[in-house]
Amino acid sequence: MKFPFQTSTSRHAIDLLDPPATGAAVVQASARPGLLSMLSMFTLNAGCAGWFAFNVSAILAMAWLVVATAGQIIFIAVPMQAPPDNDVQAVRQALRRHVTLVAVLAAALGSIGFFIFAPGNAPALALLGMTVYGMAVAFSMFVSQYKLALQVAISRLMAPAFLMAMFHPHRTSGFFGVIGLAFMVLMLRIVTVRANQFAELVRLRLIDAQRNISAEETLKRLEQTQSERLRFFSAANHDLRQPVMAIGLQAKVLRHQLDADALKPVMQQTVAALFQAQQALEALTNQLLEIGRIEAAADLLRPTAVALHPLLQGLARQSPRVSLRCPDDALVWTDAVALQRVIGNLLDNALKFAPQGRLQRIWR
């Protein structure tokens, strides 16, 4: 499986569905904080609400704490499971659900900008800005690794407070709003770059994992090929030994016959046996060379018009058990060497494994 890849400098938008395993890994890495983390967040929210209750408005501070806590409960209660890494639709749905949950939590926490906004109160505005900025940093570090979810979260967290301040007629509030929006733009840029880098890191890890799998599969194929090659050469060694031994045996017989001044017909029979063994050895050697050329991709098939009768007649002479019936003018369009090798292998197997008797080959 191939993974299209470009660096973040050449492509700003990372497609988490190509491959879908990237999106699945991002969702899995964006696991929601545990109960202890959410309790810590609630404690911090309660501390901020207490300060604002004493310095701004107790009712509005408690109202924000209730909304923020409700957003945390929804974020924890709604199930969110990692999707299969090979299902594009499941990954797309998981990313959408994750964005929705993050948006709900960010909107609940960011509502502090509506509830607790004290124009002209510099300490309250400063604490509000630090609270919103701290929540934005926490979101970018612990809540999500998905670019779109982080962009939505930063906007929901920071925009309410800073927009209200910027459009308020009070000078201090307007200055606070302008500085806050500048921080929001900076945070959006930071989380976008960070999320893209994380997605690229996930993509690289997937590519490395796929390459490792491909390397292991290639190694297994090479080991299997080597094992098959060893078995083939073992069988070839056995097949080559028979004609070599036959040649040696017939040569000894011929020498004894020459020493004993044997009759000419007897010596001719021995020479014929020698010639037959030599042909068998030559055929096996040619087959080995042919296989070597095929493995080296040095011998391509060259189809031509091949006269079938002479080719089959030459093969039939290998054994007296073989008889041939084939039209003299039979032609086939094929590679002559490859056809001879295939039919020769079939004939050898028939001679080895067929019951004793004559073998008849009929070609029409």
Say if CB 142 and CB 135 are below 8 A apart. Answer: no
Tokens of 102: 């993050």
Average pLDDT on 257-282 reads: 74
pLDDT of residue 1: 38
Is the pLDDT at 363 greater than 60, yes or no? no
Of residues 295 and 281, more confidence is placed in: 281
Q: How far apart are CA 149 and CA 155, in angstroms?
A: 10
266: pLDDT strictly greater than 50: yes
Q: How far is residue 252's CA from residue 274's CA, in Å, rounded to a whole number? A: 11
For 17, phi and psi rounded to 5 degrees? -100, 5
130 vs 124, 133, 249, CA distance in Å?
10, 5, 102
Stronger pLDDT, 9 or 247, i.e. the higher one = 247
Residues 238, 241, 242, CA angle at the centre, nearest 5°? 100
Span 8-25, mean pLDDT? Answer: 60
The per-residue pLDDT for 10 is 36
Cα–Cα distance measured from residue 284 to residue 239, given in angstroms and rounded to the nearest whole number: 8
Q: Give residues with Cβ within 8 angstroms of 166, minimum separation 6.
A: 173, 174, 176, 177, 178, 180, 181
CB atoms < 10 A from the CB of 221, how many?
A: 10
CATH architecture of 300-364: 2-Layer Sandwich (3.30)
Other C-beta atoms within 10 Å of 331: how many?
A: 12
Model confidence at 123: pLDDT above 60 = yes
d(C-alpha 337, C-alpha 302), whole Å: 9
Domain boundaries, the chain: 20-218, 300-364
With cut-offs at 50, 70 and 90, classify the pLDDT of residue 9.
Answer: very low
Cβ neighbours, 10 Å, residue 90: 18
Assess whether pLDDT exceeds 50 at residue 2: no
pLDDT above 70 covers a percentage of the chain that reads 85
The DSSP-derived string for 94-138 is HHHHHHHHHHHHHHHHHTHHHHS--TT-HHHHHHHHHHHHHHHHH
Residue 81 CB partners (closer than 8 Å, separation 6+):
94
Chain segment 198-236, per-residue pLDDT in tens:
888 888 888 888 888 888 888 888 888 788 777 777 777
CB 325 within 8 A of CB 312: no
Cα–Cα distance, 280 to 269 (Å, whole number)? 17
Q: What is the pLDDT of residue 360?
A: 56
Q: Higher pLDDT residue, 201 or 273?
A: 201
**Pick the residue with more confidence: 288 or 210?**
210
* C-alpha 183: how far from chain center: 41
Tens of pLDDT, residues 142-198: 788 888 888 888 988 888 888 887 777 777 777 777 888 888 888 888 888 888 888
Quick one: which of 362, 304, 363 has its CA closest to 337?
304
* Separation between Cα atoms, residue 344 and residue 281, nearest integer Å: 13
Q: Please enumerate in sequence order all residues whose Cβ is within 8 A of that of 64, keeping only pairs 6 or more positions apart, or say none.
A: 49, 52, 111, 112, 115, 116
Query: Where is mean pLDDT largest: 18-27, 108-117, 262-271, 354-363?
Result: 108-117
Strand boundaries in the chain, DSSP class E? 304-307, 322-325, 331-334, 359-362
> With the CA atoms of 42, 44, 47 and 48 taken in that order, what torsion angle do they form, in degrees rounded to the nearest 10?
-100
pLDDT higher than threshold 50 for residue 308: yes
